[in-house]
Structure 1
Amino acid sequence: MTVWIFITRLLTAVLLGALIGLERQWRQKSAGLRTNTLVSAGSAAFTLISIAITSSNNNVYMGDATRIIGQIVTGIGFLGGGVILRDGLNVQGLNTAATIWCSAAVGALAGTGLYLYAVITALTIALTHIVFRPIGHWINRYPTQKEDSGIFQYTIYIKCKEHVENIVRVRIVNFIKKDSHLQLRSLKSADASPSMAAIEAQIVANGNHHNDIEQLAGQLTLEYGVTEVEWKTDSINEA
């Protein structure tokens, strides 16, 4: 492999990685222009190393160049895992991680000298973000019935002063009586400290009632003597 071939393939990986990164940078994503460019360039460099050390001066292959390429896929998996974040019930960074993974593929293609394939792949990645992003937002406006149907189980945790414990329990029961889709499964109390009580209410709902449970939590938060309110969805059984 000559120096010019090395430079040409590496620069191709850099330019195509930058093309992918421009769209990500425009969207203000955590992995933007520099990250995708470096991932593509690094993948190309590792690929060029594997080609260089497994071929002779006559460009006759003496080993398996795909071994290092296979390790690139594993390494990018760890890098992509670092940009995936969990925020409550939501998971963020999956598209960014997938883009980094694809940028590595573009770099590997450029490193092996498959310029046309590398260009096609890079353009496909960029167009996927540009074209499918608005389509995905449009689909998200219409949640499927499956997401809102079924049996939802909620658990509410309340920490309050002992002298308002009964008042809080009555508030919970009265709130649930107003909605026929809500059913109180259990209501337990325990001593949190010498002057504080801990209340746990398990509520079963027919369908998605996140907003109603949040409304109940908000009302309890405003109750005198209540110091802490927390709720979560324990399980969802689809109908």
Structure 2
Amino acid sequence: MQALEHLNAGAMLDTLVSVGAAFVLGSLIGLERQVRQRTAGLRTNTLVAVAAAAFVDLAQGLSGNDGAVRVVAYVVSGVGFLGAGAIMKEGVNVMGLNTAATLWGSAAVGACAGADRIGEALVAALFVIASNTLLRPVADRINRTPLQQAGEASYTVHVICSGDARAEVHDRVIAALDVQGHPVRDVEQRPFGPEEVEIQLTLYATSVAPAQLDSVLAEVQELPGVSHAFWGSGTQD
């Protein structure tokens, strides 16, 4: 008999309007997805919106706005798990992210409708649809445009010296570069011929004045045991 006691024409009409709005707006979102033959299409997006509206409307009817707020939080997390099921990974490619985000948008539309915020639900639905339609040509155009990246400049100093002198040369070069304001980020040493060693010093990516490096290497060239000293520049990602 409690079911009969809970029957209320006004409450039923309110629920009908809320869930009905979620049904219509969720269908509009899902229709665009269905036309594009996406995994989550017309029925899925409609069901997500309707279910979210029904949960929020029920919570609001039982315990007011506080209950509705709590249920909205659960809807957000619950639809996140549902969207995760639409995401697939094949090698380095990840597919379904847009579908998962659209499901989240449908849930937001339904939650707004269930909370009797029909205007907000309409606005949210329009922006979800616009994101999937109006932004698509922009994204496609960007994807078709060749990517030309200008990497960050990198500078390396190369010093070739005798094996016996490499320790002193190593310290003197680092000290000379530091005086000019070019601290060394990395140092590598490798054999260069039967008796010599190449010391490669990578500088931090700062603005480097060629004249300063030339003066440093002119000093290095005069060190005992040094046969060659030069520097180069390039780009790194």
TM-score where L is the length of structure 1: 0.58
Give 1:143 deviation, angstroms.
3.7
The equivalent residue for 2:51 is: 42
Give 1:85 deviation, angstroms.
0.4
Aligned partners of 1:121 and 1:143: how far apart in 2? 34
What does 1:88-167 align with in structure 2 at a 5 Å threshold? 88-146=91-149
Query: Relative to total residues, which structure has the larger helix share, 1 or 2?
Result: 2
Output the amino acid matched with 1:12.
A
Q: Which runs of 4+ in 1 moved over 2 A?
A: 143-149
C-alpha change, 1:98 and 1:148, in structure 2 (3 Å) is farther
C-alpha change, 1:141 and 1:9, in structure 2 (3 Å) is same
Give 1:147 deviation, angstroms.
10
C-alpha change, 1:112 and 1:147, in structure 2 (3 Å) is farther
2:134 aligns to what SS in structure 1? helix
Give 1:146 deviation, angstroms.
3.9
The equivalent residue for 2:17 is: 8
1:145 aligns to what SS in structure 2? coil
Give per-residue Cα distances to partners, 1:182-221, cap 9 Å, x unaligned. xxxxxxxxxxxxxxxxxxxxxxxxxxxxxxxxxxxxxxxx
2:38 aligns to what SS in structure 1? coil
Give 1:10 deviation, angstroms.
0.4
Output the amino acid matched with 1:133.
R
Larger radius of gyration: 2
Aligned partners of 2:150 and 2:60: how far apart in 1? 49
Consecutive unaligned residues of structure 1, counting only runs of 5 or more, are: 56-60, 150-237
Aligned partners of 2:106 and 2:19: how far apart in 1? 13
The equivalent residue for 1:76 is: 79
The equivalent residue for 1:221 is: none
Aligned partners of 2:124 and 2:130: how far apart in 1? 10
How big is the alpha-carbon RMSD for the aligned residues of Structure 1 and Structure 2?
A: 2.2
Consecutive unaligned residues of structure 2, counting only runs of 5 or more, are: 1-9, 153-235
TM-score where L is the length of structure 2: 0.58
Aligned partners of 1:49 and 1:147: how far apart in 2? 56
Aligned partners of 1:148 and 1:92: how far apart in 2? 28
Output the amino acid matched with 1:131.
L
